[in-house]
Amino acid sequence: MEQGVGVRVAGVEGWPAPGHFTVVSEAVPGEAEEASVHLTDGRALSGRAVRLDCDGRMLEFVPDGEVKPWVVPFSGFKSLQLARPVKLGAVRLAIPAGNIEALPSASGPRFTIRFKDGTELSARIAGVVARGFGLFPYLADEAGSVFRWFMPSDATAGYRIGDPLGKILVERGVLTQGDLDAGLARQRQQRESRFGEYLCRRGLVTPQEVEACLAAQKAQVQRRLGELLVERGLLTAAQRDLALADQETERNMPLGEILVRMGVVSRKAIRQALADQFGLPWVALDGFAFERGVVEAFPAELARRHFAMPLYRAGSRLAVALANPVSWEAVEDIESALGTPVNAVLASREDIAGALGRHYRPA
């Protein structure tokens, strides 16, 4: 079974490895693992994890003092932690030094997950594998030991990889809190302005109506443009929600790009902060020597759908540049389509767009 692709997990030989790493362990393949499980009813049990079946969405677990395994559906537990620590072996990054613009720090990004019961877990991780049915974070303790966890999506309300970009920049002293606040305000203003432009292009409202609402909004900074338009009878709530969904990508300029355009921080500092935020290298694609066979084997439709550019193959793994590392769904989709684990790296949208244009025919 390819690590990271299979969905039936029993012991370390099937536990998916995070990108850029292999799992080093002395476990006997197929042997039950000492573990603890937190049930959704509040109980925490110690015992042995016999099988994690992600096709059937169930866990076989033998609590201490019992012989027969419990069959626990994914809806019945919040988290599973394997007790035995593992080591992670780094996969060499086969990219010329001149194309590497930023490498993540060795400490690893912070992982924060919210559960549906209102509780939250936040810790440093070495990496995480995200799937539609759940998350496989590799949590690191203060001594440097790495532990394997699993959190089913049935129990989770959301998660975040890394601290917010602005927080990282302020903590490092490359950005003042005042400049960050100004950048966030400009981002909100641009989002609202672009939303208004979009509504005008759709013929839903007139430019004069948008300008009047934007002027009124200055005195009510917490009010959204869409709310004011609905309140004034210029737009229905259904029209607002549909328009927001239609043009979400168009109106969202990243905060980092706004701060660079304001001249308050360098592009290099932004890229280093993003590499640390997500625990992924930042790679420049201009002049990169792409492996022809890898590009030809990567479907153009898949590349355009996820704004992804394949770089090279390293053993059983495929290195892929992504503009949106938050979209772990993209990694899962690529792995599923190609049947191979992915090592994701960061790259700018401009670099990826240029590479897609050079290596794939227009759609």
- Contact yes or no for 86/25 (Cβ under 8 A): yes
Q: What is the pLDDT of residue 34?
A: 92
Tell me which of 131, 164, 197 is where a domain ends.
164
**Start-to-end Cα distance in the chain:** 34
Q: In the structure encoding, which two tokens stand for residue 204, read together?
A: 């839903």
Task: Write the DSSP symbol of residue 218.
Answer: T
Answer whether residue 159 is part of any domain: yes
Domain assignment present for 346:
yes
CA pair distance 123, 159, nearest whole angstrom: 12
Residue 338: HSE in the Cβ half-sphere, 13 Å Cα cutoff: 27
Angle at 201 between CA 200 and CA 205, to 5 degrees: 25
Query: What are the structure tokens assigned to 81, written together?
Result: 């932690």
Q: Which residue type, as a one-letter code, is found at position 98? A: G
CA distances from residue 315 to 91, 92, 319 in whole angstroms, order as listed: 10, 11, 10
Q: Are residues 15 and 153 in the same domain?
A: yes
Q: 249 with 300, same domain?
A: no
* 224 and 347 housed in the same domain: no
How many structural domains comprise the chain?
A: 3
SS3 15: coil
Q: What is the pLDDT of residues 268-289, one digit of tens each?
A: 999 999 999 888 999 999 889 8
Q: What is the helix (H) or strand (E) element at residue 351, kind and residue range? A: helix 349-359
* 70/16 same-domain check: yes
Q: How does the average pLDDT of the chain come out, rounded? A: 85
Spatial CB neighbours of 265, under 8 Å, sequence gap ≥ 6: 169, 174, 175, 179, 256, 259
Report the predicted TM-score, pTM, of the whole model to 2 decimal places. Answer: 0.78
Residue 106 domain-assigned (yes or no)? yes
**pLDDT given at position 4:** 37
Residues 83 and 33 in one domain: yes
* Residue carrying structure tokens 């393949």: 29
pLDDT in tens, 148-170: 999 999 999 999 888 888 999 99
- Same domain as 249, residue 154: no
- Residues 79-106: what's their mean pLDDT? 89
Q: Are residues 226 and 310 in the same domain?
A: no
Q: Which residue has the tokens 């959301």?
A: 158
Does one domain contain both 73 and 183? Answer: no
Judged against a pLDDT cut of 70, whether residue 255 lies above it is answered with yes
Domain-embedded: residue 172: no
The pLDDT tens digits of the residues spanning 173-219 come to 999 999 999 988 888 777 777 777 878 888 888 888 888 877 776 66
Residue 169 lies in a domain: no
> Does the pLDDT of residue 3 top 50, yes or no?
no
- Does residue 244 register a pLDDT over 70? yes
Task: Characterize the bridge pairing of strands 100-102 and 282-283.
Answer: antiparallel
212-236 average pLDDT score: 73
Tell me, yes or no, whether 84 lies in a domain.
Answer: yes
Among 137, 164, 191, identify where a domain stops. Answer: 164
288 and 241: one domain?
no
Query: What percent of the chain clears pLDDT 90, i.e. is strictly above it?
Result: 41
Can you give the CATH number for the domain in which 353 is found? Answer: 3.30.300.160
State the residue range of the domain holding 218.
Answer: 177-255
Confidence of residue 12 (pLDDT cuts 50, 70, 90): very low
H-helix or E-strand spanning residue 330: helix 328-338
Distance of CA 56 to the CA centre of its chain: 25
Q: Residue 289 corresponds to which amino acid?
A: A
pLDDT of residue 29: 63
319 and 250 belong to one structural domain? no
Beta-strand (E) ranges in the chain?
Answer: 8-9, 21-24, 33-39, 44-53, 58-63, 70-73, 77-82, 87-90, 100-102, 110-115, 120-131, 134-140, 146-152, 156-161, 282-283, 308-314, 317-322, 342-346
Q: What pLDDT, in 10s, does the model give residues 97-151? A: 889 999 998 888 889 999 999 999 999 998 998 888 999 999 988 777 899 999 9
Inside any domain, residue 268: no
Interval 286-323: pLDDT, tens: 889 898 899 999 999 999 999 999 999 988 889 999 98
Give the separation between CA 7 and CA 4, rounded to whole angstroms: 8
User: What count of other Cβ atoms lies within 10 Å of the Cβ of residue 249?
Assistant: 8
Contact 78, 151 (CB under 8 A): yes
89 and 151 in a single domain? The answer is yes
Nearest to 111 by CA among 88, 92, 129: 129
DSSP output for 141-156: -TTS-EEEEEEEGGGE
Note whether 182 and 224 are same-domain residues: yes
Residue environment code for 149-175, b if the CB has 16+ CB neighbours within 10 A, otherwise e: bbbbbbbbeebebbbebbebbbeeebb
* Nearest CA-CA partner of 135 in 328, 342, 333, 356: 328
Q: Is residue 266 part of a domain?
A: no
pLDDT score for 285: 93
Cα gap 83→308, rounded to integer Å: 36
pLDDT the model gives residue 247: 59
Residue 225 confidence (pLDDT) above 90 = no
pLDDT at 140 (0 to 100)? 87
